[in-house]
A and B are shown apart, each in its own frame.
Chain A
């Protein structure tokens, strides 16, 4: 609701700002916070800032719902804004950035799991891996410094679960190892080595011996891995 109001207000700014504002206020003078919001935005625009600012109460809500600090959210907002098309910039709340564009971020560019990351965090109905700003915040929150081990391991599991079937089976593990060592032919393990490796992994982690690693087994293993928390991190 709030976001939509906010957007309305911005549309009006492009026209006769004052008149629109008065009209807007008279129409919705119940909602005090929205007025304030509009006014701050107007001043920003008159000062020549093209990018829309994040309203204060929304910022504090994001702070509460994610592990990010204020600076990080503002930086994320700025970066996300740069990815958007020019005409979409005014309505950052609702517009989505396609996966190909997200992948051009330098933080994700050299990550072998970048496609999976986009797919996991995308809430798009089309399953195309496009991210809205809130999805983007979710992504950064899970990869932030202060996220809990549980969150991190949950998302790690979903990222590694390439076929989205809820377990890491042999195919997933093979893909995972290939992602780690590089996709080129000369950088892959030989099939024998792969077989030996996967056997070893299953031996170490598959507690119920069903041939796959499920979420709880995965979290169990990860909780004993000292490097995981420090390495499962993306610094914007």
Chain B
């Protein structure tokens, strides 16, 4: 009787947890899985599997086993054969005792086994130490550690994202440097290497007047040149126009620079795509899995809500209030959801029509902004061509007009969006996400609009002889590169000056002025989404610009390097963390998703300009080609026959099934006037998305399958327990009647094969 009590009623005072739940096969396997995931050796895994099998059969075999599990004290329950002492939730003294016990056990082992054990320990130690030594080499390890310690994991994820971008840009720079710049540098500095310079075949198209300032050059003109990439910067390695080399003849072979240039461009785009997808794959899977169990949100917030890393008292106070806010809004949201379900049709109509109207308004705002950017760009392009001898300031403003308009638009629209969203009556979580999506769209689309207006200036209908507007833009690629360069410089200037001239004075004002209004205004919040958007914007510019300005990744690396320190200083000194923080798990995925959108957006103009627009006749590596892409078919046609045939088959039938992306690329490969290159890109992205999605689904399916198997085992186990309890009960109360009830029980459950065996056992016991 007492055993039955112990099984069915959890003993709340003594044991820490319900013993029955601990014995459930699903829980045991959870323990096992955690343990085996921590270890790498297959040997250990097989041992623990054996252990698991034995416990489950023990607990099923009868009353003695269940009694034994209860008699064992709590710590002993979790002491398996092969677990490291440090993985036990015991105090150090107990762990030491446990270790000694194990050492004694090992003393009985043979010399060979002992040696193997000790060598394994030694190797493990060595591995840990080498990992530690390697991680010390990581960039900004100490800084990121400090930030994590002060502000928690949400803000940490922003900084590690920044570090990732620095690394990405640096790799892109290395790529461009080693395959494009290095051959030219070696060619100019060694005599044994000659290079053929491309010439555009004469004519008016190949005229490229030097834009260097003649005569007296003022100091401020140097500043303008530095900020806008004109003048002395134009004819340097910085811009596309300088790479006017066709072939570099090393001793035995000639280096095809145009091809290398094009392949580098494609490689950096693909490399970024792969890297981002790889980084986001884990977060994406987790998000997908998480979305399916949304019902655990309250537990997450309460049990895993406090960030134990926080040491800053201000941050702690904020964390308190943000948790309070989050919990309140979640409870509110639940109530709202209930209310929404009860909404009448009339109310629904009102809300939907309001939303449509407000969305129309948003679209109007966006169109207005885009028109402003468009006209500003055109105005600045025309003025730049006309006014060469203007005032310093006027010239600078005209040069920077598009950047200024874009920045202004990106400053104003988020404010408008956040006002609008409050009327739309969404749930609070969705409100934030939706505003953010609008901001992302605004920021990235503004670059698109700028490029579109440039494009409309560069190309002209059928009239022009060179395929582009050669009078104004003799080397249009360099010009686009300069525009990108300007955007990037302006972005850096804005980030730095906002920190110095807005956030710092604001902090001083708030600290030293007791006026009510200032207090209400408060310190600057470190809003993670806005900051992420800022650096993604910079990265998109870099991706677009690298084709036109091969040194852009290097500049961007330096820029993000500076941004890291600027942001760190402003975070530590000027800002307080946002009152509604980002969760680390959801934010990393969000960052990469936005970055992926940026990459897709950047790839479109680059690909269009490579495949569609006539390359300049006056400058750059593609002087002899009508479009940049033409270099690929031409190189392929120069290859030996066998290789050509191989490439052709690669791009046709045999591989068409598996590499359908290449099939889409084939018309592009052999007919440059095809439009399909956009489709190629879209399909590539879609494929990656589908692959990631499939991986996530697979994981979910596996989990569900495992869960199903576990449920089955749980059920079996519980039925066994039930039978056992019944057996005990009947054995205690009356032996004569128990036989009858047994028989009936057995009959009813003969359909379950598993249940029969223990029943028979009990009968023999009784």
A residues 135-159 near B (Cβ < 8 Å) are 135, 137-138, 141-143, 148-151, 154-156
B320 near A226 with CB under 8 A, answer no
A208 near B21 with CB under 8 A, answer yes
> Within the complex, what minimum Cβ distance (angstroms) separates A230 from chain B?
5
A residues 178-236 near B (Cβ < 8 Å) are 179-182, 187, 189, 193, 196-197, 200-201, 204-205, 207-208, 210, 212, 214-228, 230-235
Q: Is B363 among interface residues, defined by CB-CB distance under 8 A? A: no
B residues 11-32 near A (Cβ < 8 Å) are 12-18, 21-22, 27, 30-31
Bound Cα distance A166, B302 (Å): 18
B17 near A216 with CB under 8 A, answer yes
Q: Is B646 among interface residues, defined by CB-CB distance under 8 A? A: no
Interface SS of B by simple majority: helix
Interface SS of A by simple majority: helix
A193 near B328 with CB under 8 A, answer yes
Q: Is B89 among interface residues, defined by CB-CB distance under 8 A? A: yes
B290 near A187 with CB under 8 A, answer no
> Within the complex, what minimum Cβ distance (angstroms) separates B532 from chain A?
18
> Within the complex, what minimum Cβ distance (angstroms) separates B162 from chain A?
18
B residues 136-157 near A (Cβ < 8 Å) are 145, 148-149, 152-153
A204 near B295 with CB under 8 A, answer yes
Kindly supply a per-residue 1/0 record for chain A positions 31-68, scoring 1 wherever the CB is within 8 Å of any chain B CB and 0 otherwise.
00000000000000000000000000000011111110
CB-CB under 8 A from B683, the residues of chain A are none
Q: Is A111 among interface residues, defined by CB-CB distance under 8 A? A: yes
Bound Cα distance A226, B588 (Å): 12
A123 near B91 with CB under 8 A, answer yes
Bound Cα distance A65, B303 (Å): 27
> Within the complex, what minimum Cβ distance (angstroms) separates A152 from chain B?
9
A231-B331 contact in complex given A151-B87, A182-B324, C-beta closer than 8 Å: no
B93 near A134 with CB under 8 A, answer yes
Bound Cα distance A216, B93 (Å): 25
Binds A, one of B108-116, B311-319, B365-373, B685-693: B311-319
Cβ-closest chain B residue relative to A223:
B30
> Within the complex, what minimum Cβ distance (angstroms) separates B546 from chain A?
34
- A-B contacts counted at CB < 8 A amount to 203
B residues 214-272 near A (Cβ < 8 Å) are none
> Within the complex, what minimum Cβ distance (angstroms) separates A160 from chain B?
7
B327 near A177 with CB under 8 A, answer yes
Kindly supply a per-residue 1/0 record for chain B positions 288-307, scoring 1 wherever the CB is within 8 Å of any chain A CB and 0 otherwise.
00100101101110111111
A180 near B316 with CB under 8 A, answer no
Q: Is B132 among interface residues, defined by CB-CB distance under 8 A? A: yes
Q: Is A173 among interface residues, defined by CB-CB distance under 8 A? A: yes
Interface size, A (range): 35 or more
Cβ-closest chain A residue relative to B301:
A180
> Within the complex, what minimum Cβ distance (angstroms) separates A104 from chain B?
12
> Within the complex, what minimum Cβ distance (angstroms) separates A146 from chain B?
9
Bound Cα distance A207, B149 (Å): 35
Kindly supply a per-residue 1/0 record for chain B positions 27-65, scoring 1 wherever the CB is within 8 Å of any chain A CB and 0 otherwise.
100110011001000000000000000000000000000
Q: Is B518 among interface residues, defined by CB-CB distance under 8 A? A: no
CB-CB under 8 A from B432, the residues of chain A are none
Kindly supply a per-residue 1/0 record for chain A positions 75-96, scoring 1 wherever the CB is within 8 Å of any chain B CB and 0 otherwise.
0000000000000000000000
Bound Cα distance A173, B93 (Å): 31
B323 near A150 with CB under 8 A, answer no
A197 near B86 with CB under 8 A, answer no
Residue positions of B touching A, CB distance < 8 A: 10, 12-18, 21-22, 27, 30-31, 34-35, 38, 84-89, 91-93, 95-96, 99, 125, 128, 132, 145, 148-149, 152-153, 286, 290, 293, 295-296, 298-300, 302-313, 315-317, 320-321, 323-324, 327-328, 331, 334, 583-585
Residue positions of A touching B, CB distance < 8 A: 61-67, 69, 71, 106-107, 109-113, 121, 123, 134-135, 137-138, 141-143, 148-151, 154-156, 160, 165-167, 173, 176-177, 179-182, 187, 189, 193, 196-197, 200-201, 204-205, 207-208, 210, 212, 214-228, 230-235
- A-B contact list, 23 entries, CB within 8 Å: A61-B96, A64-B86, A65-B95, A111-B308, A111-B310, A123-B93, A142-B89, A150-B89, A180-B327, A181-B324, A187-B320, A193-B327, A197-B298, A200-B331, A205-B299, A216-B17, A220-B27, A225-B296, A225-B303, A227-B153, A228-B300, A230-B584, A233-B308
